[in-house]
Structure 1
Amino acid sequence: MISLGALYSVVYVFLITVTLVLGGDIVHHDDVAPRRPGCENNFVLVKVPTWIDGVENNEYVGVGARFGPTLESKEKRANLTRVVMADPPDCCTKPKNKLTSEIILVHRGKCSFTTKANIADEAGASAILIINYRTELFKMVCEENETDVDIGIPAVMLPQDAGLNLERHIKNNSNVSIQLYSPLRPLVDVAEVFLWLMAVGTILCASYWSAWSTREAAIEQEKLLKDASDDYANTENVGSSGYVEISTVAAILFVVIASCFLVMLYKLMSFWFVEVLVVLFCIGGVEVSCSHSRLRTANVFGGSVIMIPFFGAVSYLTVAVTPFCIVFAVVWAVYRRSSCAWIGQDILGITLIITVLQIVRIPNLKVGTVLLSCAFLYDIFWVFVSKWWFHESVMIVVARGDKSGEDGIPMLLKIPRLFDPWGGYSIIGFGDIILPGLIVAFSLRYDWLAKKNLRAGYFLWAMTAYGLGLLITYVALNLMDGHGQPALLYIAPFYHWEKREGSSRFYGQEGNQKGLALISKMITNQLTTTIDQQQACILLGHYITFVTLL
């Protein structure tokens, strides 16, 4: 018998993952650093290509200050300017060296950023580069007591390693020249189009697989019932099901459990923690990939099995597929930092999502409404409201994998931004596919069991609502300069456009749904008999390990 608690463990591992669409933001807003006249710029990333003795060298990335004029957005308009070292290096007093529109390189510290910029401006510099004392970027702001700041040159912060490299070349008497510009992101990148197609296609495949397996199970049970078998006729005594139906209480508890899990990810985010997530992600990917073959061939090749110690009866197809699944997951884990590793991550991720949408189901639209409404509030809170307590968006920080040294966590689908001068990835969290997908899959199962065609049913409306909602999410993402957007904020309202029909769909098996209730019990019995008990427990064991470790 499959434990309901174990199945819920599987559910929550996936339902509390990141629900976010992100496009690689290059403009940073910061409510902690208030705006005032002369100090109201956005914090923009700045490209700093370098030339050493006329030969093109490394390109660095800095961040613009809150003060000073804005930088050029086109590379061809950015002047190639010579860089000189400040004397004294901190530029807290007037430089001893004479400046004629050069860019001055200074060290951070001893005085405010605006003091350094004012002194450099008065000395004749065309821009100021400030070297941070850490290998990271820092947002340069005005002091609290400063008003009407008027600085005539741009200021850019460089990470420590980049700044020290430039300083080393200057001290070696090399001629160092740089450009400063901040290119704009394209309005739409092809990565967003493909990511939209991936998300919609994943829900489409999962919904049809769920509806097909439900119909096949119902047909099989109808045949068994016609044989007047007492074991199958007594549908009131069916054992545990092979899938999980989310209750209204569980849908409400989702917000609490998901929030706790997200805060834990935020607080424990580190290199080793991401390594653990990668290992468990691979284990899950291997298990569900192999489980597909077990579920699909349970009836078709019921006799083609082999007995394996501890695992029990395993189909020959599973034995043949398992090594390839393991090798695929291991290769991805080892080479996940390569430029094409996103392909493997997306394959494993889509497999996981489809499996969750096959195992996890909502019994009626009432539960789906509660679940999506709770997720709607959860998404808004952790993307926007959490900034008031944590001074940064918890959801965005977790999605990017900050402080981990990794390029994001594995519980995401992502595609590289091909035409973006800043590169990076467009991503979408598993939750933005799984949660709406539960309603879409339910709609198709309902249509098939109620014998509704595509135009008269609800599936087309639900699928259209998801597609339009996700499309609006990407529009908002680009209008907000690539800042992470809570996709459910835009997707959930579109589901209110669906057609309505009495209480049968909202309350599920109540009202005049005795026939559907009987079929549902048949499905429950059929799904219970298709999965070998030992195999299912082994599969669930890996997911329970995930929850235990976290």
Structure 2
Amino acid sequence: MAAATAAVFALLMASALAGAAAGGDIVHHDDEAPKIPGCSNDFILVKVQSWVNGKEDDEYVGVGARFGPQIVSKEKHANRTRLMLADPIDCCTSPKEKVSGDILLVQRGKCKFTKKAKFAEAAGASGIIIINHVHELYKMVCEKNETDLDINIPAVLLPRDAGFALHTVLTSGNSVSVQQYSPDRPVVDTAEVFLWLMAVGTVLCASYWSAWSAREALCEQEKLLKDGREVLLNVENGGSSGMIYINVASAIMFVVVASCFLIMLYKMMSSWFVELLVVIFCIGGVEGLQTCLVALLSRWFRAASESFFKVPFFGAVSYLTLAVSPFCIVFAVLWAVHRHFTYAWIGQDILGIALIITVIQIVRVPNLKVGSVLLSCAFFYDIFWVFVSKRWFHESVMIVVARGDKTDEDGVPMLLKIPRMFDPWGGYSIIGFGDILLPGLLVAFALRYDWAAKKSLQTGYFLWSMVAYGSGLLITYVALNLMDGHGQPALLYIVPFTLGALISLGWKRGELWNLWSKGEPERVCPHHMHMQPQPKTGPVDPSSC
């Protein structure tokens, strides 16, 4: 189980995805076009509801221009207006015929957005809808030297697919009318609140399971020592049986491997590749869900959990595991088959949370030094692939992978998601597994240290690291809303909070050296025993006295 989970760990690190805004994908090319008088609107998404021959048809999403009047926010205040094709279609010269209050549909190109709007307004149009030549939505801005910006009709840019759909209906001789409005988003997104609770709750549960299993293993070893028996520790990578302890080198390598995997995701992103990721996710989800269910049910079915038999290729397997496995496999398969349904996010979150909890319980940070290296590398990893990667790839690699561009999917499955049920724009609030898992490893370490040192919640480190993680994640969502929906690297905010809290408290309490290098409290051995050298990584060995 531990080896299989470790194989998925680099994949999870590559999925430390930034939160993506719902609605249309707006490309920000307005850095050199600041607000000027007559061109100072805030950019807003606009709903364009259409009617064909009097019957309600498709609804499209566009973006409003920086110039012209603001579009109304209430649907009841929006007028249904006839839509006409501009002639010429680019509207870079005066239309051949006058229009009386209609909205003109024009194509982008050959002249400035503001020039198209001026010609349309002069012809009597009440608005202008521009068809973009690509799928994305570009912000319609004004040039620095423009002065004649007295434009009194609204302008909306539609993506290519939506624009050409309207163009096709019009050229077929149909009567088309549209209604444009821009509903306000709620001040507080309830989906983000529940996602925050889900992430914090996952870290909380995983930390207690990790600390409980570490204490159980230690108590078992101490019991064997008291009975005078020889203890044979099955050490794997410096840890106890079934546990994987990270060192500095592996922490750095995880980020390097994750970066390579992210580039591969970006370059090879396609429908078949997403299908492959779904299979990998299902394998990890089955193992995680099975491990969590067996751990929970073993309290009531102790006999089944302690009875084993050998299975080819898997070794000793308990009867309880055998009973639970079919359910986990069926659950994952059903999710994979129905993952495009609106309710599929529930199954994805269940599998994802189970996998994260299992990984945090198995993969362990032995001390604060390793945790600092791991989170610091992940900190720069997140910033680089969200912001800096634009310099070389001309787009944010992390955001592209998170959105699932170049595919018909909603992105890679390695994230938790909740639909924005009270948002008129719909969409999902998301968080990548890495934004929960990586800080969770450090929080779990803090709880294991507190229990080994017999510290209370107030005098320990776990409570404050949990508060720091929750605060960092909260700031992430605040930044996401303040930054006009730009994708934000969550670890940019979470890592300073979490690491800063542990390092500051350790330094203030005079325990930073133990936290940093040993990862365990000072232990006093009985006078008749002598100290043996402690391993650099791994759990406390009571036989060291």
* Structure 2 length-normalised TM: 0.86
Preserved CA contact (<8 Å) 2:205 2:357:
yes
Q: Counterparts in 2 of 1:239-388, with a 5 A limit?
A: 241-292=241-292, 301=304, 303-388=306-391
Q: How many angstroms apart in 2 are the aligned matches of 1:238 and 1:390? A: 40
Deviation (angstroms), 1:238: 8.8
Deviation (angstroms), 1:43: 5.0
Q: Counterparts in 2 of 1:63-462, with a 5 A limit?
A: 63-65=63-65, 67-109=67-109, 111-132=111-132, 136-139=135-138, 141=140, 147-148=146-147, 150=149, 151-171=151-171, 174-232=174-232, 241-292=241-292, 301=304, 303-462=306-465
Q: What is the count of residue pairs matched by the alignment?
A: 522
Preserved CA contact (<8 Å) 1:217 1:522:
no
Deviation (angstroms), 1:138: 4.2
Match of 1:535 in 2: none
Q: Counterparts in 2 of 1:27-38, with a 5 A limit?
A: 28=26, 30-31=28-29, 34-35=32-33, 37=36
* Deviation larger for 500-509 or 225-234: 225-234
Change (3 A) 1:233 1:60: closer
Preserved CA contact (<8 Å) 2:368 2:515:
yes
Preserved CA contact (<8 Å) 1:100 1:125:
yes
Deviation (angstroms), 1:56: 2.8
Change (3 A) 1:250 1:305: closer
SS in 1 for 2:310: strand
Preserved CA contact (<8 Å) 1:25 1:484:
no
Preserved CA contact (<8 Å) 1:27 1:481:
no
SS in 2 for 1:230: coil
Code of the residue aligned with 2:138 in structure 1: it is K
Deviation (angstroms), 1:201: 0.6
Asked whether 1:505 is paired with 2:515, we answer: yes
Q: How many angstroms apart in 2 are the aligned matches of 1:505 and 1:299? A: 36
Preserved CA contact (<8 Å) 1:294 1:318:
yes
Q: How many angstroms apart in 2 are the aligned matches of 1:130 and 1:208? A: 56
Deviation (angstroms), 1:91: 2.8
SS in 2 for 1:392: coil
Match of 1:544 in 2: none
Q: How many angstroms apart in 1 are the aligned matches of 2:247 and 2:177? A: 64
Match of 2:528 in 1: none
Match of 1:537 in 2: none
Deviation (angstroms), 1:407: 0.8
Preserved CA contact (<8 Å) 1:25 1:482:
no
Change (3 A) 1:270 1:10: closer
Q: How many angstroms apart in 2 are the aligned matches of 1:233 and 1:193? A: 44
SS in 1 for 2:71: coil
Preserved CA contact (<8 Å) 2:453 2:521:
no
Match of 2:488 in 1: 485
Code of the residue aligned with 1:155 in structure 2: it is A
Deviation (angstroms), 1:253: 3.5
Asked whether 1:13 is paired with 2:11, we answer: yes
Preserved CA contact (<8 Å) 1:104 1:127:
yes
Q: How many angstroms apart in 1 are the aligned matches of 2:127 and 2:425? A: 22
Deviations 1:412-455 (A, max 9, x none): 00000111111000001111101111111011111111111222
Match of 1:532 in 2: none
Name the structure, 1 or 2, with higher relative contact order (CA <8 Å, separation 6+). 1
Q: How many angstroms apart in 2 are the aligned matches of 1:149 and 1:357? A: 61
Change (3 A) 1:146 1:301: same
Q: How many angstroms apart in 1 are the aligned matches of 2:321 and 2:157? A: 55
Q: What is the Cα-based RMSD across aligned positions, in Å?
A: 3.3
Q: Give aligned-pair identity as a percent.
A: 60
Preserved CA contact (<8 Å) 1:39 1:141:
no
Deviation (angstroms), 1:524: 12
* Structure 1 length-normalised TM: 0.85
Q: How many angstroms apart in 1 are the aligned matches of 2:234 and 2:480? A: 54
Deviation (angstroms), 1:9: 3.8
Q: How many angstroms apart in 1 are the aligned matches of 2:375 and 2:322? A: 39
Q: How many angstroms apart in 2 are the aligned matches of 1:76 and 1:521? A: 68
SS in 2 for 1:21: coil
Code of the residue aligned with 2:61 in structure 1: it is V
Change (3 A) 1:276 1:32: farther
Change (3 A) 1:510 1:461: closer
- For structure 1, list consecutive stretches of 5 or more residues without a partner in the other structure: 526-550
SS in 1 for 2:83: strand
Code of the residue aligned with 1:209 in structure 2: it is W
Q: How many angstroms apart in 1 are the aligned matches of 2:233 and 2:336? A: 49
Change (3 A) 1:123 1:218: same
Deviation (angstroms), 1:372: 1.8
Deviations 1:257-286 (A, max 9, x none): 332222222222221111111111111111
Q: How many angstroms apart in 1 are the aligned matches of 2:328 and 2:542? A: 29
Change (3 A) 1:511 1:79: closer
* Deviation larger for 155-164 or 140-149: 140-149
Deviation (angstroms), 1:470: 1.2
SS in 2 for 1:520: coil
Q: How many angstroms apart in 1 are the aligned matches of 2:426 and 2:543? A: 48
Q: How many angstroms apart in 1 are the aligned matches of 2:353 and 2:539? A: 27
Deviations 1:144-194 (A, max 9, x none): 797336244332233444334434544565442212222232221111111
* Deviation larger for 507-516 or 233-242: 233-242
Change (3 A) 1:138 1:457: closer
Asked whether 1:520 is paired with 2:539, we answer: yes
SS in 2 for 1:399: helix
Preserved CA contact (<8 Å) 2:75 2:183:
yes
Q: How many angstroms apart in 1 are the aligned matches of 2:155 and 2:348? A: 39
Deviation (angstroms), 1:23: 4.1
Change (3 A) 1:259 1:68: farther
Q: How many angstroms apart in 2 are the aligned matches of 1:414 and 1:195? A: 7
Deviations 1:374-419 (A, max 9, x none): 2222222222222333332222111111111211110100000111
Preserved CA contact (<8 Å) 1:473 1:490:
yes
Q: How many angstroms apart in 1 are the aligned matches of 2:543 and 2:331? A: 33
- For structure 2, list consecutive stretches of 5 or more residues without a partner in the other structure: 526-530
Q: How many angstroms apart in 2 are the aligned matches of 1:175 and 1:237? A: 71
Q: How many angstroms apart in 2 are the aligned matches of 1:76 and 1:247? A: 61
